[in-house]
Every structure is written in structure tokens, then in C-alpha cells.
Structure 1
Amino acid sequence: MVAVTPSAVIGIDVGGTRIKSAVITPTGAVLDELVSPTPERIGDSIGSVVGGLVRAHLERLAARESAFDGVAAVGVVVPGVVDDVLGIGRYSSNLGWRDLDLRGHIESELDLPLAVGHDVRAGLLAEHRFGAAVGADNVVFVPLGTGIASAVLSGGRLLADPRSGEIGHVMVRPDGPPCGCGARGCLETIASARAIGRLFAQRLAVLSDTGSKTGSHTGSDTAAPSASGEPSAADVARLVEAATRGHDSAASAVSAATGPAARPSERAALEVWHEAVEALACVLAPIVVALGTETVLIGGGLVRSGETLLLPLRRAVADRLGAGLTVDVRAAALGDRAGSLGAGVLALGVAGS
């Protein structure tokens, strides 16, 4: 006898380079997944793209042995500034649109109920329903990727104002690196995965050049660059993990790595990592105090470094909180699936599940 799966929904996460979609059940079971490249200038064609993905999932499920009651709704999430209520993409630098009627374009291609939302806010909903934030009602979710954004759950309610969450553009260093938004020293120019890799390469070049002129360092000192040929945040994390063994904090490791025998790669990695953690803590601590946050969830690719990131971040945030205040800083659980699962949670909402 073939088991019948309760009505499923489809969640679609439209990113700057990839579209991740999944068919999920109300319990979070994933019945089918697809990953496809994001078409250039997707704006006006987003309806046909979403419609094509929905049809592809239905065809794939129909070809399998398992049975299910059908798809009850579709959820679509996008980055940038999103009006969840009206279903309008107010602005997305990654996807190149402004005031795009997402709901109108997509509904013209579907015969199913539709939910439209913001990728990070939806990711928090997924973590709250299926992941690391189950049972926590006061949560800040911060994925660290190409950029930095956030979402807030307060008293069990998602703060969904289109203007909220863009903490990546809080200025933390007025004389810092230029940002794509036109300002300088925004958080994401110092603490995003892209920024960490770039700043490490710049710092390493300076330290290596200084060392060669003074003769203070000899021997090979490569940073094991990523496949792209440029060092990545993951490369930096590996160096930091190696250099901090035996030290009780990133700051003490930085101090120990400033002597004449220090490897430029380790010193550069420690300095950039320490500055990123401190900048992130400077932005997170006031949010924790103002909102009474119980849990800070860190997501995105950088969280794969585990305690190499989380341990110094916990300490840096704690150092900035008032006496008696504590917060649980932990890794998000859903990884790259957070967006598509979050879109699915939105769809479950309109489907009444």
C-alpha cells in the first residue's frame, strides 16, 4: 500500500545567482528539490520562471512511486526591500529591479494560492518552525553571506516592515571600505563573507611586502586560495582556526601573531577575523538590548566555521551587554535550505497548514 503524504506546498527562493526550490510537507519533510541558475534580468519574467518550476516539480513527483494529496500553495521569496503585504519587490540590487509587482507577475502563471516574502525573514520563519529557533520567540537571525541582512522575531511575531533588517548598511567605521550603497564602513564591508576574503587579501599583500623589505619573515606562506584563485572567507577561517589553538581569545591570538617570526597569512587572517567579529558584535548588542532578544542565530556560509566564529562572537557580544544580560548565540540549522523552506512556511500559511 502506498502511503499518502498530506498536502504539500512549494517554496521557491530566488537568489542573485541561483534559484532553490523545494516541495515540503507541513512537518518540513522535503519531497523534491531543484537548483537552477537565476536568469539574467529576471524581473518581468519571474512569473514564467516560477510557473516553470512549479510544473517541473509536479511532473517529477508524478513520475515517482509515492503519492501525495497535491500542492496546496506556492511561496516565493526574494532578496532586497520587499513589501510582503502587497507582494512588491521595492528594490533589489542583486536582481536589478525596483517596484516590481511580484505578486501580479507570478499569479498570472499560477492556479494556486501564492505567498510572497523576503528571503531572510522567511528563513527565520523556517528556523522557528523546523530548525534552531524552535521554541524561541525572541530571535534575531543574521545570515552572513555576500552581504548581511537580518530578521527579527519578537514575542513570537515576525517584524515584517519592508524597511527593517538591512543591518549590513549600518556604518561601523566611517573611514572604512567603500560600500555599494554609496557610504563607507558599512557592516557588510567588514564582516560579510565577501569582505573578509577581500580584506584578507589586501592585508596579506601589505604584510608580505613589509616582511620582504625588512627580512622579518622567510619561507613559504601561502593562504591556500579557493578555486576562484582569490582567498575566500573559508580560507581565512581555516587559518584562524589553526592560529587560535591554545589561545583563550582571538585578541590574544592576534597579539601572539605580531612578533617577527609570525607568518603573514596567520597574522592577516587573525586581524581581519577579529575586526569582523568586533564589528558584528557592535551592531548586534544594541539590538539584543533594545528588543530583549533571547537567541541570535548566525546563518550563511560563514557559520560552517563553527566555534571559530561563534566563540569569539559570543564573547564580543557579551562584553557589550549590560550587567546581568545574556543572549544565546548559536548556529542556524537549515543552511542553504533556509530560504526555500521559509518560502514553504509562507505557503503553508496561505494554505491554512
Structure 2
Amino acid sequence: MNENAPLPVVLALDIGGTKTALTVADLHGARLADRTVETHADQGAQAGLKNAVDAARTLLDGREPIAVGVSTIGIPGEDAVALAPNIPGWEELALGRELALAFPQSQLRLVNDVKAAARHEHDHGALAGADPGLYLNLGTGLAAAIVVGGTVLGGRHGAAGEIGYNLRSPADVGKRDPVPLEAVVSGKAHAQRPLHEGEFLEQLAFHLVNLTIALDPERIVVGGGMVRSWEALHGPLRRALDAAVPYPPELLRAAHPYEAPLLGALALAVEAAHHPV
């Protein structure tokens, strides 16, 4: 064995609407270096991706990762990222191909950020042992992930849990371009109106209650940047669940509310390093 050979590493990125979090880890998932950079969504998809790759190269310090795990908004694929309006141009970006060019020697895995977070919270966090479990992400956007039998439900097109697209009222039925739920219930919406104003919490509670009735989960775990306002969120959501759900589940703050998507991407990178395709 060459004692001077660089330590084999994996790379994980969580590319969101406002920031990109990165970590370099060994093949067991022990983190060696971390960095966070702004996404600059207003500069477009290509600029945001280049910023993330440049930050990764700095963090890698000349090393080539065995595998790269990437979590991001929407449904990431080789040729496009579906359902990702928060970064202009992201839906048209050939994310898989671009990253394969940036890291040609690496195994590459792409995953939706909320589904990555749910997997991590189930394996190592507040959803552990819950079946079914529901992960609710309140970040720049709004989405949920459902865990059944230890597996995160993808859906036919990978869009299971994309509740940000929910209709807000019966008046929206049949409209071609209704204003989606995410427009009033998300970090972006919260930046425009305080949490204590009625519509945000009323709409969130209404849709969470209906989703809970449909799924009958054992536990709901909430993550994302808005968990910083957990005290303002918990009471109204708890009361709404208790009042209307036949079997009210537990309602908990995520164990890793801000890093779960990155940690889920890291788990995928470690898995890919040990089980390449």
C-alpha cells in the first residue's frame, strides 16, 4: 500500500434555492471538510452550478472523489430537473450530464432534497422506527416525503409528496394556472408576510391535516430553514392535528433540520463508493 497516496474521499452537495452546502468525507462517511456558498438563483442555473462545482473543487483540494452524491430541489435527472422553479433555468439544466463532466472519474447519484432528508431522518434521526413516517420540509419551498416500510416513496414520476403544487381552494379546480400552495406556504412566502399572519399557518395546517388523514402516519417530522420558528409552528399544527385527525400522530422537530438533505446525499455517495454501478 502506498502510504503517500491521498485518502479516498466522497463528495456530497445539497443545492438549494438560496445556498449550496458541501461536505467531503471518507469512505465511512466521516466528514473531513465542509463549506456553504450562496446559490445566487437570480444569476441562473448555469452560474449556480458552476459556483457549486468551484466550491467543491476548492474543498477537495486536488483530490478526485470516488463518488458524488447530490441532493437538490425538484426531480433531478440526466437531462433536466423537473418541478424546480425556485432556480431560474434549473428545470432545463442537464444536471446529470453536467456533473458527470465535472467529475468524470466519480460514481454519481442524484436525489430530491426532501426525499434525501427523509431517508436520513428515518435512518439516523427523528423518524427512526416510524412506519409510516411523514417528513415535512418547510424551506425555501414546500414539500413532503413519505416513508413506508423503511423506503421513501418516490411515486410513478418521482413526484410523491410535492404538496407545494396543491390547490388552495375548490375555486382553483379546473384552472390552468392556479396559484399553488407553495406561493403562500414556504420560506419564500414567509419572507413577504410574517408567520403570525393568518393565511400561512391556516393553509399549512389545513393541508397537513388532510395529508395526515390520508396517510395515517405514526409520526410527522418537520425540517427545513423555517424550523427556526418551531415554537410558532408547533402549537397551531399540534392543535389542528388533535382537533381533526382520527389518530393524531406524533409531531416532532427534525433531528437535523438544516443538514438532513446534505447528510442524505452523503449517505448516497458512501453507498455508491462501496457499490458502484
TM-score, with length taken from structure 1? 0.64
1:101 and 2:94 correspond: yes
Matched residues in 1 for 2:52 and 2:200: separation?
37
8 Å CA contact 2:12, 2:265 repeated in 1:
yes
8 Å CA contact 1:23, 1:31 repeated in 2:
yes
Matched residues in 2 for 1:151 and 1:195: separation?
21
8 Å CA contact 1:139, 1:296 repeated in 2:
yes
Matched residues in 1 for 2:231 and 2:99: separation?
41
Change (3 A) 1:146 1:55: closer
1:92 to 70, 84, 92: 84
Matches within 5 A, 1:89-238: 89-95=81-87, 96-110=89-103, 111-161=105-155, 162-173=158-169, 182-184=177-179, 186-200=180-194, 233=195
One-letter code aligned to 1:338: A
Unaligned runs of 5+ residues in structure 1 are 1-5, 63-69, 201-232, 234-268
Superposition RMSD on alpha carbons, in Å? 3.1
Change (3 A) 1:193 1:103: closer
- SS of 2:184's equivalent? helix
Matched residues in 2 for 1:296 and 1:41: separation?
34
- SS of 1:326's equivalent? coil
8 Å CA contact 2:117, 2:263 repeated in 1:
yes
CA displacement, residues 284-324 of structure 1 (integer Å, 9 cap, x when unaligned)? 233323333111111122222233311221120222212xx
One-letter code aligned to 2:260: A
Using the TM superposition, give the Cα deviation of residue 139 of structure 1 relative to its aligned residue in structure 2, in angstroms. 1.7
1:316 and 2:240 correspond: yes
CA displacement, residues 121-169 of structure 1 (integer Å, 9 cap, x when unaligned)? 1121222233222333422211212321111111111112322222122
One-letter code aligned to 1:94: N
Using the TM superposition, give the Cα deviation of residue 29 of structure 1 relative to its aligned residue in structure 2, in angstroms. 4.1
Using the TM superposition, give the Cα deviation of residue 91 of structure 1 relative to its aligned residue in structure 2, in angstroms. 4.2
Aligned to 1:305: 229
Sequence identity (%): 31
Aligned to 1:9: 10
8 Å CA contact 1:78, 1:119 repeated in 2:
yes
Aligned to 1:33: 34
Unaligned runs of 5+ residues in structure 2 are 1-6
Matched residues in 2 for 1:174 and 1:10: separation?
45
CA displacement, residues 93-137 of structure 1 (integer Å, 9 cap, x when unaligned)? 222233433221111221111101111111212222332223334
One-letter code aligned to 1:307: E
Using the TM superposition, give the Cα deviation of residue 49 of structure 1 relative to its aligned residue in structure 2, in angstroms. 4.9
1:338 to 260, 267, 271: 260
Matched residues in 2 for 1:57 and 1:336: separation?
20
1:281 and 2:277 correspond: no
One-letter code aligned to 2:94: D
Matched residues in 1 for 2:124 and 2:171: separation?
41
Length, aligned pairs only = 262
Change (3 A) 1:29 1:138: farther
CA displacement, residues 144-197 of structure 1 (integer Å, 9 cap, x when unaligned)? 123211111111111123222221221233579xxxx9413x333333233345
Matched residues in 2 for 1:58 and 1:193: separation?
31
Aligned to 1:73: 67
CA displacement, residues 241-281 of structure 1 (integer Å, 9 cap, x when unaligned)? xxxxxxxxxxxxxxxxxxxxxxxxxxxx3xx25x4333223
Pair member with larger Rg: 1
TM-score, with length taken from structure 2? 0.80
Using the TM superposition, give the Cα deviation of residue 283 of structure 1 relative to its aligned residue in structure 2, in angstroms. 1.6
8 Å CA contact 1:144, 1:302 repeated in 2:
yes
8 Å CA contact 1:80, 1:89 repeated in 2:
yes
- SS of 1:92's equivalent? coil
Aligned to 2:4: none
- SS of 2:118's equivalent? helix
8 Å CA contact 2:220, 2:251 repeated in 1:
yes
